[in-house]
Structures are given as structure tokens and as C-alpha cells.
């Protein structure tokens, strides 16, 4: 490393760095592109990883760098912690883990801004004049401040999102005038930011105040949001971190950061919108409404009764069916039943039954989460269909097996205008010839809305824990012989 | 890099990000969010340069935290994305081995 540091001139070092960052940007974009198809997805992350390795290594020859022992120590510690936690985390806990890593990125962007802003501020304080000896143009100062604010919000907000999904923080804090207080925190942070920009860094106190207010705002904004909406918020913070990285990229004059940050910022924004749409919500609705508190609307009375069924009967019904569609929900993953369910499906496939999995966009904790959980159990992705592909097929299915899903198969979303979930796209499981619902007890769903599907004439309830029920079904199908 | 060139890069990268994601099937939303989360881990190079140029103890402390957090973002993002995508297999691939 020492020879490399001294041998080439500054100009040729910058050339090497520029070419490497360019290569990194190409690898990132191609990697993300490959990640958008299940066939090439695995190679996509490897390509992007190679890009990251190239960029990190070449940054060590950046002219004027010092503190190498600190840099290496920080990278080693960060790597060990993240590697260990990333390998250990259960697939069901993936959403909050993504939130945590995302928050770290936001924090890093804020740290870059803080270093730049404090440097200018302390130089002003030392020289007793403003503008002081450290000079950034007003545009660069503005970008540093805005990137720093966004990064800080993403950092503290993501930590709250993590704490909520992890169950560390169970309270949903709401009080009168909350939106007013939140708005005040945000505008306060911006206002102090303007002062710092106008006074070329102002003083250390003002710089500290920007970050303190932004961090507080991130906490205050995330606290009132319910757990069910958290994935959309995590996705939003992901996009915000990208934007913060891009802004700090302008400050550091670093093209790799600008490109990668902006790509993530725009891709993340689109992904956030797609997620909100899949939940039948607008982004504004997620951020500023009190849905998800479980208040619920006036529950329409549902007539009829729930009719129970034994596992052995379900086993026979499915063994002699020609087509079975399984509708899994998050409840299945909580019960860790996906392995048993897949074992059951394999038995059916061996008997010549056509088996498909129907996945609602919000079946897991976030869109696509259920696919990850099924993949972990070994279900091939070509047996898994999303809502648009599968909905017409329910009419030709002999059995729709609902396991751990509730609101996403509630037909009132199609029929009852007074229902809070009216208009939400649902899986039309009620159209199947027979509907079997595996359910723990008779309670209402996540949203507290009574499910009309459970009361239909063609619906039978198989009560019990998801994993136990699936095991019983495996035995029942085996018994058919 | 002049301001207007930087603005062009910003604009083109924004459209690129949008186009990459626009046609993604829902089944890949979670891994893709995780993958894009990894990509903004590039903040690591900025944090390295910031710490590399840090002079005062305060700058060094903040820079150190920045590099540590950025490394966590990059490495953690990579590990969990790779773990998720590694599991996605088609029926054909599963029969010829692999899996658990």
C-alpha cells in the first residue's frame, strides 16, 4: 500500500479512481437490472458486490488521505457486526433488519455532512469571522445541509421502525397536535440549516442544532405509524437514504455516490409507491393518517355460521382434487408452518394434483416477503403466482387452502362499500369450489374486520395451530394411500 | 465536475433507477429493496474520504462513526440480499440438486 501511495502522481491516481468508480456505477446498474428477474437475481447481487469491493479498495489511494488505521478499524468492526447479524437473522425478521442497515447508511451520510459542516463552523469560530478560512460555495453548503437532514431523519426513523417491528417498542405514541409538533421540528431543522448556509457554516452550536432537530423529527414522525404500515415507511427511508447519499456525493465531488444514491432514490420512491398501492393506500395516507391503529370502521354484521371440518376429510378432499391453490399469510410464517405446507404440497404433486401458491402483495410483512419465506422452505418460484396471475384461476380450483391469511381474502373488499378495506385488491379465494381455512381461533383479522369468507356455504374451518394442522394434513394425505 | 454536468448525471441516474424497477415482479420486491439498500452502501467511499481528511478529534470521531455505519450498511445489505436470492430456485433447478 505504501508504494502505491507514493509512486503515481496525483493526476494519474485520480484517473484510476475515476475509472474504477465508473466501473462500479456500471456494475451497480447491471446488478440491479439482473436482480429484477428471479433467474438472474442471484448473480445481480454478486455483480453489485464486486462493484462495491472495487470502489472501496480504490478509495484507499485517494490523494491526501490519512487516518488509515482508523479507517481500517472502522471497516473491520462494521463488517464483523453486520456480517454476523446478517447471517444470523431469521427470514421472518428480514424487514426490520433491512431497516437497520438502511438506517446505518442514512447515519453515514449524515456523518459526512457533519464532518464538512463542523469543519467550516469551527474554522469560523477560530478565526472569529464568517466566512472563515474553510470555504464551500453556497450550493455545496446547501446540499451538505439537506443531505445531512435527510440522512439524519432516515437514521433515527429507521431505528424506530426496527424497534417497532422487532417488538422492542410496542407503543404507538399519538397525542393531540402531534402533526403540528412534527412540522415544527422539521421546519426548525430547515430554518437552522438556512442560517448555517447563509453564514458560511455559522458556528458549531447551529450545526449541532440542525442534526438534533432532524434526528428528533425522524423519531417523532415514525412513532405514530402502525406496525402494518411500517414496510412502506422502511421503503421510503431507503429511498431517502439514497437521496442523502447522492447529495453528499455532490459535496464530496464523488460520481459513484451521486449515481448510486440517485438510482436508489428514484428506484426506492417507485418501490414505495408500488407497495402503498398494493396495500390500497396512498403514501400520504400511510404517513399522516391514523389507520393501522386497529380502530376499524363499523363492522357489518355477517350472517351465517362458521362450519368446522376434520383434517382427515380435508386430506381426502385435496388428494382427489385436480387443482389446489394454497393462500399463505403471515400467520403461516409465524407458526413456522411453511416447511410442513410444502411437504403436503409435494405429496399432492406426486399424486398428480396441480398445486399453486397464490401470494397477495402484502401477504408477508412487506411485498415479496412471503415469496422469500416460501423459497426458504424450498417452494420453487414457478409454482408461486401473484394476484393478477392467479385470480382468474380460483374458479377452476377444487380447493383453496387458506393458511394464516385473513383480510387479503375477505370478499367484502369487493362488495361492501362501508368496509374500511373496500377497494383493496384481494385474492378471490371465495370463487373456489371448496374453501378450507386453517385458523387458530374465531377472532377477527389484523384490521379487526370480520371476514365474510369464513361464513360462506363452500367454506370449512380447520381449527388449530398452522404447523400442527399442516402436519395432520400430511398424515391424512398419506393415509389416503 | 461542473454543476451542470452533475445535474445531468443526477437526472439520468434518476430515470435509470425508475426504469430498472418499473418492470419488477412483486415476488422480488423484498430482495430488490434489500439490494438497493446495499447499493447506497457506496456512502462508504465518501465516509472513508471524510475520515481520511479528518484533522480534529471531533472530525475523527464523527468520521469513524460514519465509516463504521457505512460498512455496516454495505456488508449487512449484501449478506441479507445474497441469503434471500440464493433461495430462489425454479422447479428444474431444485430437482437437479441444491436446496437443503
Interhelix angle A68-88/B57-86, nearest 10 degrees: 30
Contact residues on chain B for A46, CB-CB shorter than 8 A: 82
Tell me how close the Cα of A175 comes to any Cα of chain B, in angstroms. 32
Contact partners, residue A172, CB within 8 Å, separation at least 6? A223, A224, A225, A226, A227, A293
CA distance A421 to chain B (A): 21
Q: In what order do the strands lie in the sheet with A384-386?
A: A384-386, A354-359, A323-328, A399-403, A434-439, A459-463
B5: contact with A, CB 8 A cutoff: no
CA-CA distance, A91 to B48, in Å (whole number)?
31
Q: What is the pLDDT of residue B99?
A: 40
Distance from C-alpha of B80 to C-alpha of A94, rounded to nearest angstrom: 8
Taking the CA of residue A26 and the nearest CA in chain B, the distance in Å comes to 11
Q: Which of B22, B27, B75 sits opposite A368 (nearest CB)?
A: B27
> Considering chain A, what percentage of its residues have pLDDT values greater than 90?
57
Q: Decide if pLDDT at A293 tops 70.
A: no
Mean of pLDDT values over A290-294? 46
Q: Do the Cβ atoms of A29 and B20 come within 8 Å? A: yes
**With an 8 Å Cβ cutoff, is B45 touching chain A?**
yes
**A427 contacts A353 by C-beta, under 8 angstroms:** no
DSSP, res B42: G
Interface A-B, measured as beta-carbon pairs within 8 A, has a size of 386
Among chain B residues, CA nearest to A263: B17
Closest CA to A161 of A104, A109, A214: A104
Residues of B in contact with A248 (CB under 8 A): 43, 46
Q: What is the DSSP string of A219-238?
A: HHHHTTS-GGGHHHHHHHHH
Q: Which residues pair with A438 in a beta bridge?
A: A403, A462
Contact A66 B52 (CB under 8 A): yes
Q: Where are the alpha helices (DSSP H) in chain B?
A: 3-22, 29-39, 43-52, 57-86, 91-95
Q: Which of A4-8, A11-15, A363-367, A445-449 has the lowest mean pLDDT?
A: A4-8
Considering A95-99, A146-150, A331-335, the range whose residues carry the highest mean pLDDT is: A146-150
Interface mutation vs chain A, best among B45, B49, B51, most A CBs within 10 Å: B45
Q: What is the pLDDT of residues A342-361, one digit of tens each?
A: 999 999 999 999 999 999 87
CA A206 to chain centroid? 34
Q: pLDDT tens across A302-327, in order? A: 667 888 999 999 999 999 999 999 99
- Local confidence band at A295 (pLDDT 50, 70, 90 cut-offs): very low
Disruptive mutation site among B15, B16, B17 for chain A (greatest number of A CBs within 10 Å): B17
B98 touches chain A (CB under 8 A): no
Q: What is the pLDDT of residue A3?
A: 45
Mapping DSSP to helix (H, G, I), strand (E, B) and coil, where does residue A386 land? strand
Residues in chain B closer than 8 A to A79 (CB atoms): 71-72, 75
pLDDT at B98: 40
- The beta strands (E) that lie in A305-448 are given as 323-328, 354-359, 384-386, 399-403, 434-439
Beta carbons within 10 angstroms of residue A306's beta carbon: 16
User: Would you say residue B100 has pLDDT above 70?
Assistant: no
Q: Return the C-alpha cell found at A168.
A: 422492542
User: How confident is the model over A104-119, as a mean pLDDT?
Assistant: 96
pLDDT at position A371 is 87
Q: What residues of A are in contact with residue B22 (Cβ under 8 Å)?
A: 270
| Angstrom distance (rounded) from CA A359 to CA A442 | 23
Q: Is residue A20 within 8 Å of A54, Cβ to Cβ?
A: yes
**A382 classed as catalytic:** no
User: For residues A189 and A210, is the Cβ–Cβ distance under 8 A?
Assistant: yes
pLDDT of residue B96: 45
DSSP-based three-state secondary structure for A183: helix
Per-position b or e across A146-171, b if 16+ CB within 10 A of its CB: bbbbbbbbbbbbbbbbbbbbeeebee
Share of chain A above pLDDT 70, in %: 92
Per-residue model confidence as pLDDT tens digits over B2-46: 778 888 999 999 999 998 888 777 778 888 889 999 999 999 999
Average pLDDT for chain A? 88
Amino acid at each position: 500500500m505504501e508504494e502505491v501511495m507514493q509512486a503515481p502522481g496525483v493526476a494519474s491516481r485520480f484517473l484510476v479512481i475515476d475509472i474504477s468508480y465508473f466501473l462500479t456505477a456500471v456494475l451497480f446498474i447491471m446488478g440491479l437490472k439482473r436482480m429484477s428477474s428471479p433467474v438472474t437475481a442471484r448473480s445481480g447481487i454478486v455483480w453489485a458486490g464486486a462493484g462495491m469491493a472495487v470502489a472501496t479498495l480504490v478509495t484507499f489511494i485517494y490523494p491526501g488521505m490519512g487516518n488509515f488505521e482508523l479507517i481500517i478499524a472502522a471497516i473491520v468492526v462494521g463488517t464483523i457486526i453486520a456480517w454476523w447479524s446478517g447471517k444470523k437473522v431469521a427470514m421472518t425478521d428480514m424487514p426490520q433488519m433491512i431497516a437497520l442497515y438502511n438506517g446505518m447508511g442514512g447515519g453515514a451520510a449524515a456523518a459526512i455532512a457533519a464532518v464538512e459542516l463542523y469543519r467550516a463552523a469551527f474554522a469560523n469560530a477560530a478565526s472569529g469571522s464568517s466566512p472563515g478560512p474553510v470555504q464551500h460555495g453556497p450550493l455545496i453548503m446547501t446540499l451538505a445541509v439537506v443531505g445531512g437532514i435527510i440522512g439524519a431523519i432516515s437514521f433515527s426513523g429507521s431505528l424506530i421502525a426496527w424497534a417497532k417491528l422487532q417488538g422492542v417498542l410496542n407503543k404507538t405514541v399519538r397525542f393531540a397536535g402531534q402533526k403540528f409538533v412534527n412540522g415544527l421540528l422539521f421546519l426548525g431543522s430547515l430554518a437552522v440549516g438556512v442560517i448555517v448556509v447563509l453564514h458560511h457554516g455559522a458556528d458549531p452550536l447551529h450545526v449541532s442544532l440542525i442534526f438534533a432537530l432532524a434526528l428528533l423529527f425522524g423519531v417523532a414522525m415514525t412513532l405514530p405509524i402502525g406496525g402494518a404500515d411500517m414496510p412502506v415507511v422502511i421503503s421510503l427511508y431507503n429511498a431517502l437514504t439514497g437521496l442523502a447519499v447522492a447529495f453528499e456525493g455532490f459535496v464530496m465531488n464523488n460520481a459513484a455516490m451521486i449515481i448510486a444514491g440517485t438510482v436508489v432514490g428514484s428506484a426506492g420512491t417507485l418501490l414505495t409507491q408500488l407497495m402503498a398501492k398494493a396495500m390500497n393506500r396512498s403514501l400520504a395516507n400511510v404517513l399522516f393518517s391514523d389507520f393501522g391503529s386497529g380502530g376499524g370502521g363499523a363492522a357489518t354484521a355477517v350472517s351465517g355460521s362458521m362450519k368446522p371440518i376434520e383434517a382427515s376429510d380435508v386430506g381426502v378432499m385435496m388428494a382427489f382434487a385436480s387443482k389446489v391453490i394454497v393462500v399463505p399469510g403471515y400467520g403461516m410464517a409465524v407458526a413456522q408452518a411453511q416447511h410442513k405446507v410444502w411437504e403436503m404440497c409435494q405429496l399432492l404433486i406426486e399424486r398428480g394434483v396441480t398445486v399453486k401458491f397464490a401470494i397477495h402483495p402484502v401477504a408477508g410483512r412487506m411485498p415479496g416477503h412471503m415469496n422469500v419465506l416460501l423459497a426458504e422452505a424450498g417452494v420453487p418460484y414457478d409454482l408461486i403466482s401473484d394476484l393478477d396471475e392467479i385470480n382468474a384461476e380460483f374458479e377452476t380450483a377444487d380447493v383453496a387452502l387458506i393458511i394464516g391469511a385473513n383480510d387479503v381474502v375477505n370478499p367484502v373488499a369487493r362488495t361492501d362499500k362501508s368496509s374500511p378495506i373496500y377497494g383493496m385488491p384481494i385474492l378471490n379465494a371465495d370463487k373456489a369450489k371448496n374453501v378450507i381455512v386453517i385458523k387458530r381461533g374465531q377472532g377477527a383479522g389484523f384490521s379487526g374486520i370480520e371476514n365474510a369468507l369464513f361464513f360462506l356455504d363452500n367454506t370449512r374451518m380447520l381449527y388449530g395451530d398452522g404447523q400442527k394442522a399442516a402436519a395432520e394434513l400430511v398424515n391424512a394425505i398419506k393415509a389416503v394411500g | 465536475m461542473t454543476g451542470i454536468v452533475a445535474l445531468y448525471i443526477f437526472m439520468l441516474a434518476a430515470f435509470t433507477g425508475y426504469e430498472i424497477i418499473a418492470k419488477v415482479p412483486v415476488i422480488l420486491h423484498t430482495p430488490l429493496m434489500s439490494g438497493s439498500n446495499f447499493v447506497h452502501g457506496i456512502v462508504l467511499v465518501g465516509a472513508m474520504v471524510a475520515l481520511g481528511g479528518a484533522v480534529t478529534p471531533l472530525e475523527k470521531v464523527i468520521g469513524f462513526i460514519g465509516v463504521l455505519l457505512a460498512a455496516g450498511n454495505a456488508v449487512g445489505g449484501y449478506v441479507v440480499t445474497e441469503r434471500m436470492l440464493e433461495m430462489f430456485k425454479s422447479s428444474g433447478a431444485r430437482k437437479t440438486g441444491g436446496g437443503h
